[in-house]
Structure 1
Amino acid sequence: MKMYPEFQDITRKTEIGGLTKLELIRKLRQQSISLNEYAEILLSNDKFTTSKTKYNLKTVELTIRNLGFPGGATMPQIIKRAEELGLDLCPLEVGPHIRLNYLDQPEGSTRNLSRGQAPSGSITIATEKISEDDDFPRGFYLRKISGVLWLRGYIADDLHVWKTEDRFIFCQRKDC
């Protein structure tokens, strides 16, 4: 049974933790996962930490439209609505772990690619930002282009309007 029956959601159970930062990066390389410069900045930042103990986390993937925004929404609006639905922001380390576990992501498109917009077929991991600097990467997104799996970092301020078809992953609140 779907938790959000009015939405087309995708739920995943992912094992998080149990790896050091270096081990996690090594696993990404072993799987031939490409990183952009922003992802490397996030992974090398002291605020990017990993859990020493393994735990299972259930995530929910929804579009902005599924969250109730037919005209798009800003990050503060998206977060507020997700919280109302019993969803939480993910720890930053969730991005690399989901990338390692989601190796069969469908191919994205390079058509109609606009600077400042989420690429077609990408999935953004909803996380707390680790810096108030709008020029510092906010978080990760997953993408597959020309057969290559990517873990990419992105920059977006709180005024950026996400499109209705943009996809986000949130953590399901444990008490739901």
Structure 2
Amino acid sequence: MRFENEKIHSKVITRKIEVGGLTKSQLIQKLQQYSILMNEYAEKLLADDKFTTSDTKYNLQTVELTAGNLGFPDGATTDQLFKKANELGLELCPLELGPYLRLEYLDQPEGYSGNSLQRNEAPSGSITIASETLSEDADFPKGFYLRRINGVLWLRGYNVDYLHVWNPNDHFIFCQT
């Protein structure tokens, strides 16, 4: 089944992103060149031997939507979100998309930087890249998200367990087949 916008009940954003062609060290250097900051989790993901980059450039068509767009007005777990997206013909993204998307999406709107953030909640204005996890270890980051705070672009890693319920307004990036 191919993803069709009519199956989603609200606005979706599609992007075509070129991925690959850089080594891991070149990718990290490019993030630094663009003054993109990373948290400890993002650094841990990039440093892991299981995080690989493609030697060859390729294009991905991405779809940004919310948990609510996927039909979860009360939120859903990661597994529920990924299963529903798959039913709609969307796929998980390769983990290497995170840094490349961060480098392409330089005009991300500002997120709220206040301290009213609830623990175990996606930050305001963030976009989570839906991807396979590298490790089932509870302490290992599960993937990347993008954020802009006080004009600074971030590539951040996150960690949630299988019980975590994402809010209906949390944004995700999936790939189109």
Report the TM range for the smaller structure's normalisation.
Answer: over 0.9
Give 4+ residue runs of structure 1 displaced > 4 Å after superposition: none
Root-mean-square deviation over aligned CA pairs: 1.0
SS of structure 1 residue aligned to 2:117 = coil
**How many angstroms apart in 2 are the aligned matches of 1:95 and 1:31?**
15
Give the gaps of 5 or more residues in structure 1. none
- Which residue identity lines up with residue 87 of structure 1 in the other structure? L
Deviation at 1:146?
0.4
Q: Does 1:148 align with 2:149?
A: no
CA contact (8 A) 2:113 2:150 kept: no
Q: Deviations over 1:114-146 (max 9, x none)?
A: 121100000000000110112110000000000
Q: 1:11 & 1:134 partners in 2: Cα distance?
A: 32
The letter for the 2-side match of 1:4 is N
TM-score (norm 2): 0.95
Confirm whether residue 79 of structure 1 aligns to residue 82 of structure 2: yes
**Equivalent residue for 1:57?**
60
Indicate the residue corresponding to 2:12 in structure 1. Answer: 9
User: Hey, what does 2:118 align to over in structure 1?
Assistant: 114
Deviation digits for residues 52-75 of structure 1 (CA, Å, limit 9, x no counterpart): 000110000000000000000000
Q: Please give the secondary structure, in 1, of the residue aligned with 2:166.
A: coil
Q: Residue 157 of structure 2 aligns to a residue in which SS?
A: strand
Partner-residue secondary structure (3-state), 1:144: strand
Distance 1:125 1:134 in 2: 19
Q: State the distance in 1 between where 2:131 and 2:174 align.
A: 8
Distance apart, 1:3 and its partner CA: 3.1
Deviates more, 1:60-69 or 1:110-119: 110-119
Normalising by structure 1, what TM-score? 0.95
| Number of equivalent positions | 172
Q: State how 1:2-41 maps to structure 2 within 5 Å.
A: 3-5=4-6, 6-41=9-44
Aligned partner (choices 85, 99, 103) of residue 106 of structure 2: 103
Structure 2, unaligned runs of 5 or more: none
